[in-house]
């Protein structure tokens, strides 16, 4: 890499070019998942669209692949690479709310905390994820699930337009009337098609105070809790998000001492309508069984969005998988209860998310995101801190995934999977017709697969996708 004219690129940037001998290189190359240890040849810390253009053109001129980092939270490590150019958007975090039109323009490096902090000033929110440090870019491009999805759909369903730097260094705006095929592909097709430097999203009236909390039970009650949630959520108002979560009980005073540090199953509740109405909606959950924790209160939306942050700190070791279950019958419940009772580490979690409501009413071909069936998404989040535990914890996640696939659909949510799974999750997510359409878009905007550090879609003709 010493032969690359890095001074030329460095002088063209408003931001900073970080190379391997730079004193900040090891800090800047680090990502959320401590399992990922990659060494880009160049890291361009961009401060604007012009920096992105200069970096992409430089990479193209010198035949270098390009990785893109928004929030750096890709569990598969897609926000970095070995030997290529890393376009680091983490300094581009501007958020501009248009309260009159219920929309927001957010830069490609912004996190959910950045987005929510500004939209909530106006009592507005865009559907997004569940951990505030997550980058909006990776979340939205692969779909975007979170606590507003039953009422307002996925993050990608609320995308109005996007500014994209393509592989040839051009800047285009994708929307319904401009580059419509690219716009379709960006809503669920991942980071395959270019560097998205800004997103325009639709907002909805939510907050600033919502009802939220956790009702938790001993893990021995998991089968009964899951069956209750299945029946309860089927008719619950769509303002309600109610996910089952297996976790180790934290050492909190509100939890009886005999349950602290033990495995629990909780129902994580968030009601996006008026809190007083929410108290009536969630009462059946609070009255079910014998909970060891019943913590449900009105609180700021931005605080609710941060509730899972302590469970997901930067730098821990992660290996995840995700499976859609078409139903929660006895086989599915027994499988979940078995693994929930056997979490391998106090940091590991299983979340069981109802996938119904608004997300299932979007036409199957309206976006590249392909899963629109009423179902349950299971997120198996293997997380630990001791490298000596890596093989044991990773093997546990892989076996959980295999057993859930045996009672599920084999479909997944790509933001939850890594690149070394035993099955081809990319092909499994998109059917042949959809994959061919995505490959044609890839061919138009990135024919040489410059942007390959993602759940990759090959350009048409490279691997038989085009016809």
Class of domain 6-88: alpha beta
Q: Does domain 95-205 have CATH number 3.40.50.1820?
A: no
pLDDT of the residue at 449: 95
- pLDDT confidence of residue 48: 97
User: Which tokens is 91 given?
Assistant: 């300094």
What's the pLDDT tens digit per position in 325-336? Answer: 999 999 999 999
| Domain spans, the chain | 6-88, 95-205, 209-416
User: In tens digits, what is the pLDDT along the chain, a chain of 467 residues?
Assistant: 447 889 999 999 999 999 999 999 999 999 999 999 999 999 999 999 999 999 999 999 999 999 999 998 999 999 999 999 999 999 999 999 999 999 999 999 999 999 999 999 999 999 999 999 999 999 999 999 999 999 999 999 999 999 999 999 999 999 999 999 999 999 999 999 999 999 999 999 999 999 999 999 999 999 999 999 999 999 999 999 999 999 999 777 777 888 888 999 999 999 999 999 999 999 999 999 999 999 999 999 999 999 999 888 899 999 999 999 999 999 999 999 999 999 999 999 999 999 999 999 999 899 999 899 999 999 999 999 999 999 999 999 999 999 999 999 888 999 998 887 767 777 778 888 899 999 999 999 999 999 999 999 999 875 444 33
**Phi, psi (degrees; rounded to nearest 5) at 157:** -70, -20
Q: Which CATH class name applies to 209-416?
A: alpha beta
- Count Cα atoms within 13 angstroms, Cβ side, for 320: 26
The rounded distance, in Å, linking the Cα atoms of 416 and 379 is 7
- Could you please report the per-residue DSSP string of 333-370? HHHHHHHHTT-SSTT-EEEEEEE-GGGGGS-TTSSS--
Residue 462 confidence (pLDDT)? 58
Q: What is the pLDDT of residues 115-150, one digit of tens each?
A: 999 999 999 999 999 999 999 999 999 999 999 999
pTM: 0.94
> Is the distance from CB of 46 to CB of 55 less than 8 angstroms?
yes
Spell out the alpha helix ranges (H) of 196-315: 222-233, 275-287, 301-304
pLDDT given at position 165: 98
| CA-wise closest residue to 202 among 189, 187, 182, 180 | 187
pLDDT at 419: 81
* Same fold? 6-88, 209-416: no
């Amino acid at each position: 890499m010493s032969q690359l004219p890095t001074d030329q690129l460095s002088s063209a940037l408003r931001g900073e070019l970080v190379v391997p001998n730079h004193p900040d290189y090891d800090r800047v190359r680090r990502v959320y998942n401590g399992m990922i240890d990659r060494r880009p040849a160049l890291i361009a810390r961009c401060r604007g669209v012009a920096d992105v253009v200069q970096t992409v053109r430089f990479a193209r001129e010198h035949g270098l692949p390009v990785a893109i980092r928004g929030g750096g939270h890709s569990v598969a490590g897609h926000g970095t690479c070995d030997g290529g150019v890393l376009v680091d958007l983490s300094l581009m975090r501007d958020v501009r709310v248009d309260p009159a039109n219920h929309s927001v323009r957010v830069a490609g490096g912004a996190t959910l905390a950045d987005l929510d902090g500004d939209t909530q000033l106006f009592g507005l929110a865009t559907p997004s994820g569940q951990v505030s440090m997550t980058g909006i870019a990776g979340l939205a491009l692969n779909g975007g699930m979170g606590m507003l999805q039953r009422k307002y759909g996925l993050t990608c369903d609320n995308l109005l337009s996007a500014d994209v730097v393509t592989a040839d260094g051009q800047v285009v705006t994708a929307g319904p009337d401009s580059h419509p095929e690219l716009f379709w592909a960006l809503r669920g097709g991942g980071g395959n098609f270019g560097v998205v430097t800004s997103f325009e999203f639709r907002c909805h009236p939510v907050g600033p105070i919502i009802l939220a909390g956790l009702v938790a039970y001993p893990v021995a009650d998991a089968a009964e809790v899951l069956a209750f949630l299945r029946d309860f959520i089927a008719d619950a108002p769509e303002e309600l998000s109610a996910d089952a979560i297996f976790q180790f009980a934290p050492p909190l005073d509100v939890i009886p001492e005999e349950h602290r540090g033990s495995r629990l199953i909780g129902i994580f509740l968030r009601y996006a309508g008026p809190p007083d109405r929410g108290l009536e909606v969630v009462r059946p959950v609070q009255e079910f069984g014998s909970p060891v924790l019943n913590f449900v209160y009105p609180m700021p939306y931005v605080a609710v969005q941060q509730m899972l942050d302590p469970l997901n700190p930067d730098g821990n070791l992660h290996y995840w998988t995700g499976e859609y279950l078409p139903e929660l019958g006895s086989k599915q419940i027994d499988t979940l209860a078995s693994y929930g009772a056997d979490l391998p580490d106090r940091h590991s979690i299983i979340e069981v998310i109802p996938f119904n409501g608004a997300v299932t009413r979007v036409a199957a071909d309206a976006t590249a995101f392909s899963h629109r069936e009423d179902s349950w998404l299971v997120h198996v989040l293997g997380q630990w801190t001791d490298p000596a535990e890596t093989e044991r914890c990773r093997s546990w996640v892989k076996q959980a995934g295999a057993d859930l696939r045996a009672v599920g659909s084999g479909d997944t949510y790509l933001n939850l999977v890594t690149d070394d799974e035993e099955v081809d999750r990319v092909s499994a997510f998109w059917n042949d017709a959809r994959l061919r359409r995505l490959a044609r878009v890839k061919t138009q905007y990135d024919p040489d697969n410059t942007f390959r550090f993602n759940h990759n879609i090959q350009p048409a003709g490279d691997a038989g996708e085009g016809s």
